[in-house]
């Protein structure tokens, strides 16, 4: 069987939360455009049959006509997964069961109980989450991701992981928090002048301290010996041999303006994918040139701590 072409797609920048740690607030306020259904259908029609779409960032379920989009995919061979903050999951639960091409639901949970609600400025959110996730887990494969920040207390992480284990969540991803400084951006731009970079919210973090903290948390969680599998992301941050970028080598990205793009941090964008087949768009000279320069100079300073790092 032909292997799947993984395409990460930011359908829009809309979100129903306003998390204190959100790295994309400013970007969100700059663009609230929503792609017309007709253009989305055109993009889907322009994808190869062996595509696997990953709808991520923002809140996919807030997108108007999201069920129409899923139904369009159900009538194709394209498979898909969703990353969501779960708030609207309750509303969609009974509909998800019938979506056979929907292979996985990824949920971001960075804190447990009141810490979780405080960071999202909403009380009682975690209580609703506690009700909905076990129900969801009965009908779809659920993966939970936690971004490991230095503010996350060990006891809070332990409680979160033990709760996931108690409700039979199969996979808990512990993600190293992406961060780079303005200097990293400037140094990367000296190497590639045309680079356009979106800067995440934290700057000038001491990565050696953060990595130490990450490893300590990882070892605490591993000692719990739960049934929930722990996924370290990126593993290549800790075990390096031949570093490269998963997004560049193995995946494609569509941005919120339906254009072929590089990644969530490098925002240069190229052809409008509602007008051209993706197989043609990836032959665009400017796109190929930029990808090649990033890979030839890999890792750029902005790439050094990214969750997309992998060992070739």
Interface residue list for ligand SF4 (CB under 6 A): 15, 17-19, 22, 24, 58, 85, 245, 247-248, 263, 265-266, 294, 302-303, 306, 308-309
Task: Select 98 or 297, whichever has its Cβ closest to ligand SF4.
Answer: 297
- Contact between 283 and 196 under an 8 Å Cβ cutoff? The reply is no
In the bound state with ligand SF4, the residue whose beta carbon lies nearer, of 44 and 237, is 237
| Helix or strand run (H / E) with residue 43 | helix 37-45
Smallest separation, CB 17 to ligand SF4 (Å)? 4
Give the length of the chain: 312
- Based on CB atoms, which residue is closest to ligand SF4, 57 or 70? 57
Shortest distance (Å) from residue 41 CB to ligand SF4: 25
CA dist 285 and 263 (Å) reads 17
CA atoms of 80 and 49, how far apart (whole Å): 12
- CB of residue 18 vs ligand SF4: minimum separation in angstroms? 5
Shortest distance in whole angstroms from residue 307 CB to ligand SF4: 7
**Tokens 């970079």 map to which residue?**
197
Q: Smaller CB distance to ligand SF4: residue 44 or 81?
A: 81
Q: Which whole-number Å values give the CA distances from 165 to 159, 162, 171, 173, in the listed order?
A: 10, 5, 9, 13
Query: Alpha-carbon Rg of the chain, whole angstroms?
Result: 19
Closer residue to ligand SF4, CB minimum distance, 142 or 248: 248
Dist CA 215 CA 112 (whole Å): 20
Q: How far is the CB of 42 from ligand SF4 (least distance, A)?
A: 26
């Amino acid at each position: 069987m032909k292997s799947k072409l993984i395409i990460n797609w930011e359908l829009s920048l809309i979100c129903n939360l306003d998390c204190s740690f959100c790295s994309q607030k400013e970007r969100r306020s700059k663009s609230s455009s929503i792609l017309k259904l007709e253009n989305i259908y055109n993009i889907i029609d322009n994808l190869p049959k062996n595509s696997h779409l990953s709808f991520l960032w923002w809140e996919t379920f807030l997108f108007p006509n999201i069920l129409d989009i899923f139904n369009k995919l159900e009538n194709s061979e394209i498979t898909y997964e969703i990353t969501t903050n779960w708030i609207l999951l309750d509303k969609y639960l009974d509909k998800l069961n019938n979506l056979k091409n929907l292979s996985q639901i990824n949920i971001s949970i960075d804190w447990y109980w009141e810490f979780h609600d405080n960071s999202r400025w909403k009380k009682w959110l975690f209580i609703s989450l506690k009700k909905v996730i076990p129900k969801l887990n009965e009908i779809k494969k659920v993966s939970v991701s936690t971004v490991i920040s230095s503010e996350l207390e060990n006891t809070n992480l332990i409680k979160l992981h033990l709760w996931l284990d108690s409700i039979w969540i199969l996979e808990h991803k512990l993600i190293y928090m992406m961060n780079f400084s303005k200097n990293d951006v400037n140094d990367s731009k000296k190497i590639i002048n045309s680079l356009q970079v979106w800067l995440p919210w934290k700057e000038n973090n001491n990565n050696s301290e953060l990595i130490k903290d990450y490893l300590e948390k990882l070892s605490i969680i591993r000692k719990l010996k739960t049934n929930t599998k722990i996924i370290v992301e990126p593993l290549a941050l800790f075990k390096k041999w031949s570093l490269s970028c998963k997004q560049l080598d193995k995946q494609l990205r569509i941005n919120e303006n339906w254009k072929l793009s590089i990644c969530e941090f490098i925002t240069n964008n190229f052809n409008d994918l509602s007008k051209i087949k993706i197989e043609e768009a990836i032959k665009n000279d400017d796109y190929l040139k930029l990808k090649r320069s990033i890979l030839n100079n890999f890792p750029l300073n902005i790439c050094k701590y990214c969750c997309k790092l992998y060992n070739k």
